[in-house]
Amino acid sequence: MSDKYDVIVIGAGPGGYVAAIRAAQLGMKVACVEKYTGKDGKQALGGTCLNVGCIPSKALLDSSWKFHEAQEGFDIHGIETKGLSIDVKKMIERKDKIVKQFTGGVTALFKANGVTSIEGHGKLLAGKKVEVTDADGKTTVYQAENVILASGSRPIEIPPAPLTDDIIVDSTGALEFTSVPKKLGVIGAGIIGMELGSVWRRLGAEVVVFEALDKFMVAADDQIAKEALKTFTKQGLQIRLGARVTGTEIKRKQVTVSFTDAEGEQQLTFDKLIVAVGRRAYTENLLAADTGVDMDERGVIFVDDYCTTSVPGVYAVGDVVRGTMLAHKASEEGVMVAERIAGHKTAMNYDLVPAVVYTHPEIAWVGKNEQQLKAEGVEVNVGVFPFAANGRAVAANETGGMVKVIADAKTDRVLGVHVIGPSAAELVQQGAIGMEFGTSAEDLGMMVFSHPTGSEALHEAALAVNGHAIHVANRKKR
């Protein structure tokens, strides 16, 4: 038996590393176990988010948008560009540099807060013991008063499209292309699929997205989803709804995809194929058989509202538990658990976890959408304001999209904020802050918003809820 800790965290992703740091800040002796290694072969903290998810994908989204804007959007400003080209290798190197900066940052934060980093695969044993197996197969057992399981998730693989080294790839592989594919297929029109498809479309790839469902972006508000579909189609993304992939065949370094849709059985051939159909909890070999921690058949660990498992002193956060697989949700769960271990009565509001799609324009929402509320029988008032009527958006040539505010028709309390357009994530976060404190549409309408800003679109949408918008015709007047 090795050292004993107040808290041992298994997994150094957004849920795990944040939990470890917060627990250490609260005076506990903390260790965090992580086995992931970066391109240099060294331990890389930060989990999927920092290594192969949120951060690197946003780096590529930013680089690709700058190229696209220089190619397509500068002329309107009177700026002429000629002979533009993209150095994909340099773009990937920039992405890798950013990843290393942030993973190294977590390492520095561990040192600053006194968190012990243990390299290897962590496995929970009975009695809150944690077995760590290093790269050489050597095992060490640590004792803990409390254990936090934060092992994250992995991309889902599907039988019709088995992954290869370089032609059929998952979201991780899609971050490592060394050149722009002439033709790119994407299976899955969710957040990951649309973001990755957008990156390579902007750089010149012909992109076809296969979505098995007949509806686009089912989690989004219907009005926002319809606007998004129209926008992405205009950008050149070919989105095939109701298209179920049935098989793939690789020949001459290309992949032929067989699929069925409303027109029957069809085939298309691509240079690369990205499988982006979602993620699954990564709990393989995480728990010994006698730990007493309950999970379902999908490997999702059962927890209560405070992320407590069926075993006292054992907690689970992030992608291995119920709810959305989002880094910010995992981080706040990590903070909550660390503080509850320290004796605080911290809770988390799961109704106000924002969701963001980092395409261009951005898509974001918080709270419930209109179809959910109608299905629940809630009478609502809705205010919509287009960015085409927003001075800052027009000046920036970012006129597509809208802000939508949904409020209870009886109480005027804001129940949802949905945005497609410039800085959607930031505007939705403003809405989330207000909703956390029970804001009404009238409250938002009475606040002073600086001019000219994109946030004025939120202000006007809130005014429009009750027919009081100034810079757009109102649907109803009082």
Side-chain half-sphere exposure of 38, counting CA atoms within 13 A: 19
- CATH C-level class of 4-155+280-350: alpha beta
Q: What is the pLDDT of residue 252?
A: 93
Residue 360: active-site member: no
Range with lowest mean pLDDT among 40-44, 117-121, 170-174: 40-44
DSSP string, 317-349: -GGGSSS---HHHHHHHHHHHHHHHTT------
Nearest to 223 by CA among 374, 329, 326, 353: 374
CATH number of 168-277: 3.50.50.60
Spatial separation of the C-alpha atoms in residues 143 and 331, rounded to whole Å: 24
Query: Active-site residue among 77, 344, 360, 451?
Result: 451
In the prediction, which pLDDT does 3 show? Answer: 81
Q: Count of alpha carbons within 13 Å of 153, Cβ hemisphere only?
A: 27
In this structure, the dihedral spanned by the alpha carbons of residues 87, 88, 91 and 95, taken in order and rounded to 10 degrees, is -170
Q: How far is CA 230 from CA 211, 235, 239, 399, 453, in A?
A: 15, 9, 10, 14, 25
The arithmetic mean of pLDDT across residues 251-261, rounded, is 97
Angstrom distance (rounded) from CA 7 to CA 26: 11
- 366 burial level (CB within 10 Å; 0-12, 13-18, 19+): buried
Return residue ranges of the chain for CATH 3.50.50.60: 4-155+280-350, 168-277
Alpha helices of 139-284 — where are they, by DSSP H?
191-202, 222-234
**7 in Cβ contact with 313 (< 8 Å):** no
The answer to whether the beta carbons of residues 403 and 459 sit under 8 Å apart is no
Mean pLDDT across 323-328: 97
Cα 65 → chain centroid = 19
Summarised one tens digit per residue, pLDDT across range 14-36 is 999 999 999 999 999 999 999 99
The percent of residues in the chain predicted with pLDDT above 70, rounded, is 99
Q: Collect all residues with Cβ–Cβ distance below 8 Å to 103 and sequence separation of at least 6.
A: 38, 44, 45, 46, 50, 51
Mean of the per-residue pLDDT values for the chain? 97
φ, ψ at 98 (rounded to 5°): -65, -45
Q: What is the largest CA-CA distance in the chain?
A: 73
d(CA 422, CA 454): 7
The one-letter code for the residue type at 19 is: A
pLDDT tens profile 353-397: 999 999 999 999 999 999 999 999 999 999 999 999 999 999 999
Mean pLDDT of all residues in 218-244: 98
- The answer, yes or no, to whether residue 155 has pLDDT greater than 80, is yes
pTM for this predicted structure: 0.96
Q: What confidence category does residue 450 fall into, taking pLDDT thresholds of 50, 70 and 90?
A: very high
Question: Quick one: how far is CA 448 from the chain centroid?
Answer: 31
Query: Angle 14-25/88-113 helices, nearest 10 degrees?
Result: 30
Token pair of 73, please?
Answer: 């959007």
pLDDT tens per residue across span 162-213: 999 899 999 999 999 999 999 999 999 999 999 999 999 999 999 999 999 9
| Res 477 pLDDT > 90 | no
CATH superfamily of 361-465: FAD/NAD-linked reductase, C-terminal dimerisation domain (3.30.390.30)
Percentage of residues of the chain with pLDDT beyond 90: 98
Q: Give the pLDDT confidence score for residue 475 in this predicted structure.
A: 78
CA distance linking residue 245 with residue 267, whole number of Å: 9
Asked whether the predicted pLDDT for residue 478 surpasses 70, the reply is no
- Give the pLDDT score at 2: 65
Long-range CB pairs of 64-71 (<8 Å, 24+ gap) are 64/91, 64/198, 64/199, 64/200, 64/202, 64/203, 65/202, 65/360, 67/202, 67/203, 68/202, 68/203, 68/360
Q: Check residue 470 and report its DSSP letter.
A: S
* Range(s) within the chain of domains with CATH label 3.30.390.30: 361-465
| Sequence-separated (6 or more) residues with CB below 8 Å from residue 181 | 200, 205, 270, 271, 272
